């Protein structure tokens, strides 16, 4: 539901990462691994986002390593926080690089993985923003996961451009985030923050929420082809997530960077759960 890291990407006219936001999340930097604490919803989100990433990647590749389905895959976890998503991906065999601008988060993540020698080898954490690693990581990664991040990013188009730069051609980008609708305001902010209090107040700004059509438009115009769009729903009573057809609250998206020629293939077969192809007339639906 929320990600306690705020990224403001470097550019000549923008300021650096907001220190006020950073301080707010500093207090929670040690709470990442309490499965029943403030981050419980993110812990349980693993139950749907890890299989989603895993199965999408397995469907696209023909290699299968018994016991390590993601063996050989290089993944960048942007806004990794305490490593909640990096660790399961590491356990499945991937080589994971987790980046987060907040040093305390990286410290927590490093300490948590250090007790497991297998994970310690497969995962590397770095305190950094996305654009800081672009130069040294051009076309390095097979997969980027940006889960519960884009709703905190100041310049989304810049973020997507950086993703494209560090991603190999035909590489995958997985995003989970919150839609900008009346329903997401009621559920995500009024109820989640103010009434039930499962999200600390002030974590999210509705203005920053990203509708899937907007995200798709930005992706498609920056060399990505959107393959899958699924709605997600959190049940606070059971503490569990499930897939949902409607994307009006939370959603997950999978996009693929176009091949070396720089054109997305027009004859891509799309899965059932995909949204309509973005075009000039899209945007008024939903």
Considering only 20, 62, 66, 280, the residue that binds another protein (CB under 8 A) is 66
Interface segment toward another protein; rule CB under 8 A; list 31-39, 182-190, 250-258, 271-279: 31-39
Strand order in the sheet with 74-78: 123-127, 95-100, 74-78, 141-147, 167-178, 250-257, 224-235, 240-244
- Choices 9-17, 48-56, 126-134, 212-220; region in contact with another protein by CB under 8 A: 48-56
Based on CB atoms, which residue is closest to another protein, 71 or 264? Answer: 71
Window 96 to 135, contacts with another protein (CB under 8 A): 108, 111-112, 115-117
CA–CA separation, 230 and 216 (whole Å) = 13
Query: What is the phi/psi pair of residue 191, to 5°?
Result: -80, -50
- Which C-beta is closer to another protein: that of 19 or that of 114? 114
How far apart are CB 68 and another protein at their closest, in Å?
A: 6
Collapsing DSSP to helix, strand or coil, 197 comes out as coil
- H or E segment to which residue 235 belongs: strand 224-235
Q: Does 268 bind another protein (CB under 8 A)?
A: no
**Residue number, 114 or 265, with CB nearest to another protein:** 114
> Tokens in use for 39?
């981050």
Question: If binding is defined by CB under 8 A, does position 262 make contact with another protein?
Answer: no
What is the C-alpha to C-alpha distance for residues 254 and 257, in angstroms, rounded to an integer?
A: 10
Q: Does 68 bind another protein (CB under 8 A)?
A: yes
When asked if residue 47 is in the footprint of another protein (CB under 8 A), the reply is: yes
Residues contacting residue 80 through CB under 8 Å, at least 6 positions apart: 86, 98, 99, 100, 105, 109, 125
Q: How far is the CB of 232 from another protein (least distance, A)?
A: 16
CB of 66 to another protein, least distance (A): 4
Residues sharing a CB contact under 8 Å with residue 51, sequence separation 6 or more, in sequence order: none
Instruction: Give yes or no for residue 90 binding another protein (CB under 8 A).
Output: yes
| Binding-site ranges for another protein (CB under 8 A) | 30-37, 44, 46-47, 50-51, 54, 66-69, 87-93, 108, 111-112, 115-117
């Amino acid at each position: 539901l929320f990600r306690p890291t705020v990224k403001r990407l470097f550019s000549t006219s923008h300021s650096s990462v907001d220190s006020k936001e950073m301080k707010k999340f500093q207090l929670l930097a040690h709470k990442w691994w309490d499965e029943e604490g403030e981050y419980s919803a993110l812990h349980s989100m693993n139950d749907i986002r890890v299989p989603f990433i895993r199965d999408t990647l397995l469907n696209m590749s023909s290699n299968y390593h018994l016991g390590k389905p993601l063996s050989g895959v290089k993944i960048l976890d942007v806004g990794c926080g305490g490593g909640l998503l990096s660790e399961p991906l590491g356990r499945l065999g991937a080589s994971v690089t987790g980046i987060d601008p907040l040093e305390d988060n990286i410290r927590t993540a490093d300490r948590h993985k250090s007790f497991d020698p297998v994970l310690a080898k497969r995962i590397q954490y770095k305190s950094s923003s996305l654009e800081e690693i672009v130069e040294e990581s051009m076309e390095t990664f097979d997969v980027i996961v940006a889960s519960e991040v884009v709703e905190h990013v100041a310049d989304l188009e810049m973020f997507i451009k950086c993703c494209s730069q560090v991603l190999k051609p035909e590489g995958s980008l997985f995003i989970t985030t919150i839609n900008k609708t009346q329903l997401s305001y009621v559920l995500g902010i009024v109820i989640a923050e103010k009434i039930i209090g499962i999200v600390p107040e002030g974590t999210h700004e509705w203005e920053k929420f990203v509708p899937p059509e907007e995200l798709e438009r930005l992706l498609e115009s920056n060399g990505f082809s959107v393959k899958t769009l699924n709605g997600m729903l959190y049940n606070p009573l059971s503490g569990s997530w499930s897939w949902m057809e409607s994307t009006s609250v939370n959603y997950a998206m999978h996009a693929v960077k176009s091949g070396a020629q720089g054109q997305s293939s027009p004859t891509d077969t799309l899965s059932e759960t995909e949204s309509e192809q973005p075009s000039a007339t899209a945007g008024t639906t939903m």
